[in-house]
Chains A and B, each alone.
Chain A
Amino acid sequence: MSNEAILQTEIGVNVPVEVHHDSHTEHHHHHERFITKYVFSQDHKMIAKQFLITGMIWAVAGGFMSVLFRLQLGYPDSTFPWLEDLIGKWGKGGHITPEAYYALVTTHGTVLVFFVLTAGLSGTFANLLIPLQVGARDMASPFMNMLSYWFFFLASVIMMSSIFVETGPFSGGWTAYPPLSALGDASPGSKTGMDLWIISMAVFVISSLLGGLNYIATILNMRTKGMSMTRLPLTIWALFFTAVLGVLSFPVLLSGFILLIFDRNFGTSFYLSDIFLASTNTALPNEGGSAILFQHLFWFLGHPEVYIILLPAMGMVSEILSTNARKPIFGYMAMIASLFAIAILAFLVWAHHMFVTGLNPFLGSIFVLLTLLIAVPSAIKVFNWLTTLWRGNIRFTPAMLFAIGFVSLFISGGLTGIWLGNSALDIHLHDTYFVIAHFHIVMGVASMFGMFAGIYHWYPKMYGKYLNNTLGYIHFWITMIGAYLIFWPMHYQGLAGMPRRYYDFSVWESFKQFGDLNRFISTVAMIVFAAQFLFLFNFFYSIFKGRKLKVRNPWSSNTLEWTTPIEPMHGNWPGEIPEVYRWAYDYGKDGKDFIPQTTPIGQDESENH
């Protein structure tokens, strides 16, 4: 369906140029009803908001889980009677039990990685930005897009329900390695909790595929006139590669999960062999399976997943840095090439998570080589961002601050990847707090910063209001300082060999020297968590009471989304979709502050890009 055809069928009455005043047509009712506007909406902008707000609810839940388990790590000797009121038998006597601790760690990881930083991040910004920035009325299939959100919602409900089952939610770590995840007798969390976890994840994969296919189709087919691939803003390039990664790797995860379901319920032995369970005093009949097979299938998604999380943040940061430095992004083609290189390499490095599984050493060395190769495109990106700032004229909007914060965190966390990707060092640092520090900085907090940058930058587009700047600045500085205070010292714990996923360190002569530090980290984590409520309040308050937008283009930006009315209707542009004549980054060219993509090339303009 062409853009114009969608215009005809979808937006009907809202288009001044082509008014259909026949209110007896279905279209009119279609638009007025609450349920089709806010619930089962097929408007990409509304679906984006649905993803965002669901993601925010999950972020609060997941963040609160980390506060609870940090309470145990930071204050192992204190009791918190309110915990028993809150979580009942899991907080008996004001202490989090080991069962609850592991369930919290597992759910925190799953929720943050998949529900917040995959669905919440790409779901929100792919939906919001792809049609607006490529110049389309909506997604290629608005209906599939709606399904994508509702499958995600269903996955959320199932995951949430697993918290309330008697044997507790799944507690074997977000990577769900069998045999632990396959055997209910090995861990109570692997009983009903794991069934719900795995169903929820399977539904999530469906959601992700429906979304991803739609994003790819829209970017490839529905660009407006003049919007060649090399004129696309970098956000779109990043979201494109993200969608490709997801579409190619999520099915592999699903296949891994299906084999796991068979092992759990139907007596197969894909992952199980030679197992004797002391809890039931029985030897299981399964023989010949390989527990390591699951890890290959899992990490074949698991590693691209890291980039599924990171690439949208990179794309948005590129866009925001350039806009607010009032200067073109440096090395546009190199930025695309490095995104492409990262996307390809993302599929070829999964076994670096498995250096200590007894992997063939030759295979290991190939994975070392490919893994460290990723540092090259990453370095290109960092230096290009730095050069973008150089000799710019920087406006510190809250979005810009978070974008600069992203670059700082990406450098810090990226560099430790060079340690961990080198197998000989990984044998020492694997599964220690060093790894926690590494991936939280580079993937967790950095992508969260990318997401915040995106929200602050495109909030005016979403709601036609501004967020409060001062709250934004306070939010940024507390989060930035807090993130480093929490995760920087964890490198030292890792260099002491301190293993991750430990409930208590008091019996360990080698690891118990960090009591003070753990208390410090937990305290900062709580403060940073509390500071996020400033943002949440700002977000919801400003929807209703925020300062109204008076201009279409508040950041003096070049991209297409700022050419729509302040609050775009379903269909985005009244009348014709604007035509594009240039790339998105003509800032400061020929002495002009900015030249939007819709401005034709002038006669006397210097060489075009």
Chain B
Amino acid sequence: MTTSMILVVAVFILVFVVIFQIAKASEYVQVIKGEEKARKEQNKVNGFFMIGFLIAGLIGVYYCNELYFGKTLLAFPAASDHGEKVDSMLWITIAVTGSVFIATQILLFWFAYKYQESDKRKVYYFPHSNKLELIWTVVPAIVLTVLVVIGLRNWLTFTSEAPKEAMQVEVIGKQFNWIFRYPGKDKIFGKKYYKNIDDENSNSLGQLWDDSKNYDDVVATQTMYAVKDKPIQLIISARDVIHDVGLSHFRLKMDAVPGTPTTMWFTPKYTTKEMKEITGNPNFEYEISCDQMCGNGHYSMKGVIQVVTQPEFDLWIAQQKPNYYVAFPDKDPSNNAVVNTVDSSATTKKNMVATKTTKL
């Protein structure tokens, strides 16, 4: 390896020396030929490169699109109703900015080529023109107004109150994974307080065990379940540093901030199974990526959303044990039948820790 390294450096230096010698030689030639003449020749070469760069560049843009468009999310339908609006807005923005891009780049390099120095040309003294300047103030302003109006309508939809029938799930980020909480049958989340967090005793969220609303709350990690065509509202927070719930297939993301809960809602349009068929990828998953730098394990902070049908969801949730029963197996009716010996002193201790009330 070291020898190949030396080789690489040697080749690098060699190429460098060759380029430098050529450059130096061309400077001498320039002096011999007469600077004015040499400069004009160089000008022609660079003028030619300008137009060459434009043509090669536009072909490159097309070729890049051919290669990579299929690997972007735009190649497949968005997986949420909000995502569809994002996509249609993306297309409008691509059309507007794309045509400006092509027009201005063509003008730039074409002018550079066309108006390269020539003895015959007399420069046009043209210091300003109110008419032209007015045109390119007003036209962009109008176009931007259209984009702003479309954007704000979508923005206000995305950030509006979630529909009443939306199911709620709490999403909590921590270094470096995700915790989810479902409110259970009562549809109300029990109170929690971060000082009660106790990973060893199955209380990763700091649920207050004297709040009976907590008794049916289900806590899960890594995989979250959502229902197709049913609005879902995420109530997002973090345990340690700022994370971000990134849902690229649904075209949404929202920061998870310790101490300041945020929310986000959307309606999934396809189940995971349907999406596998649409994308033709049998390994497809709705992945939750952490999109806010959160430490050295940031890149591995992955969660998964399983989008299923309502019956599938009902079946799944029925199989989940509320976290209360995980923390206190003795309180679990399904355990009581089998195990009757309870260390009641331990239980009371845990309850005493939990009596602090939340600041919320």
| A interface list, Cβ under 8 A from B | 80-82, 98-99, 102, 171-173, 177-180, 183, 186-189, 272-279, 281, 283, 287-292, 325-334, 356-358, 361, 364-365, 368-369, 372-373, 375-376, 379-380, 382-384, 386-387, 389-396, 401, 404, 407-408, 411-412, 415-416, 418-419, 422-425, 427-428, 430-432, 468-471, 473-474, 477, 480-481, 484-485, 488-489, 492, 495-497, 499, 501-505, 507-511, 513-514, 517, 530, 533-534, 537-538, 547, 585, 587-591, 609
Contacts and interface: CB of A to CB of B under 8 A. Distances in A.
B254 interface: yes
Contact of B100 (A329, A415, A468, A501): A415
B158 A424 contact: yes
A468 B108 contact: no
B197 interface: yes
Contacts, number: 386
Given A81-B1, A81-B2, A358-B262, A383 B123 contact: no
20 contacts: A187-B295, A189-B296, A274-B194, A274-B237, A275-B259, A330-B127, A358-B261, A389-B112, A394-B112, A423-B152, A425-B86, A428-B86, A470-B22, A470-B26, A495-B74, A497-B289, A510-B249, A534-B20, A538-B23, A547-B27
Nearest to B98: A415
Contacts of A470: 22-23, 26-27
B151 A425 contact: yes
Contact of A408 (B20, B108, B122, B287): B108
Nearest to B135: A383
B64 interface: yes
Given A382-B104, A391-B115, A499 B291 contact: yes
B2 A276 contact: no
What are the 8 closest A-B residue pairs judged by CB atoms, nearest first?
A497-B248, A273-B259, A588-B123, A358-B262, A361-B159, A424-B154, A396-B46, A422-B151
B346 interface: no
Contacts of B289: 497, 499, 508, 510-511
Contacts of B316: none
Contacts of A99: 296
Interface in B86-124: 86, 89-90, 93, 96-97, 100-101, 104-105, 107-109, 111-112, 115-118, 121-124
A471 B105 CA distance: 25
A189 B174 CA distance: 18
A403 to B, nearest CB: 10
Contacts of A289: 259
Given A99-B296, A380-B136, A425-B86, A372 B144 contact: yes
B123 A358 contact: no
B89 A484 contact: no
A275 B64 contact: no
B293 A177 contact: yes
A187 B284 CA distance: 32
B241 interface: yes
A364 B246 contact: no
B22 A497 contact: no
A488 B61 contact: yes
Contact of A291 (B22, B39, B65, B242): B242
B175 interface: yes
Contact of B2 (A82, A189, A283, A590): A82
A591 B122 contact: yes
B296 A389 contact: no
A379 B93 contact: no
B115 A278 contact: no
Given A358-B254, A468-B23, A507-B300, A273 B128 contact: no
Contact of B287 (A325, A368, A510): A510
A353 to B, nearest CB: 12
Contacts of B151: 368, 422-425
Given A380-B133, A469-B27, A514-B68, 15 more contacts: A275-B259, A330-B127, A331-B127, A334-B128, A368-B155, A418-B97, A427-B253, A428-B86, A428-B90, A468-B23, A469-B23, A492-B68, A501-B293, A534-B19, A585-B127
Given A379-B140, A396-B42, A424-B89, A489 B64 contact: yes
Task: Among B20, B155, B259, B297, find the residue whose CB has the most chain A CB atoms closer than 10 A.
Answer: B259
A133 B257 CA distance: 50
A208 to B, nearest CB: 25
Given A186-B240, A484-B60, A276 B197 contact: yes
Contacts of B294: 180
Contacts of B290: 499
Contacts of A288: 259
A546 B87 CA distance: 55
B359 interface: yes
B187 interface: no
Contacts of A187: 295-296
Nearest to A495: B72
Contacts of B240: 179, 183, 186, 275-278
A394 B255 contact: no
A45 to B, nearest CB: 26
Contact of B46 (A291, A386, A401, A408): A401
B242 A283 contact: no
A334 B130 CA distance: 9
B252 interface: yes
Nearest to A375: B144
A428 B259 contact: no
B5 to A, nearest CB: 5
B302 to A, nearest CB: 6
B186 to A, nearest CB: 24
B71 A373 contact: no
B281 interface: yes
A179 B242 contact: yes
Contacts of A368: 148, 151-152, 155
Given A273-B258, A291-B258, A186 B252 contact: no
Nearest to B132: A387
Nearest to B49: A477
Task: Among B23, B60, B118, B122, find the residue whose CB has the most chain A CB atoms closer than 10 A.
Answer: B23
Contact of B244 (A179, A276, A278, A356): A356
Contacts of A488: 60-61, 64
Contact of B257 (A292, A418, A587): A292
B39 to A, nearest CB: 8
B299 A504 contact: yes
Contacts of B121: 391, 393
B103 to A, nearest CB: 10
A481 to B, nearest CB: 7
A489 B116 contact: no
A356 B107 CA distance: 37
A503 B244 contact: no
Contact of B140 (A179, A375, A504, A590): A375
A394 B101 contact: no
B199 interface: yes
Contacts of B295: 172, 180, 186-187
A157 B5 CA distance: 30
B357 to A, nearest CB: 13
B37 interface: no
A507 B137 contact: no
A281 B240 CA distance: 11
Contacts of B68: 489, 492, 514, 517
Given A273-B259, A376-B144, A425-B89, A186 B246 contact: no
A290 B261 CA distance: 11
A418 B258 contact: no
Contact of B124 (A376, A383, A391): A391
A185 to B, nearest CB: 9
Contacts of B116: 394, 396
B195 interface: yes
A547 B31 CA distance: 10
Nearest to A334: B133
A81 B284 CA distance: 36
A587 B155 CA distance: 49
Contacts of A484: 57, 60
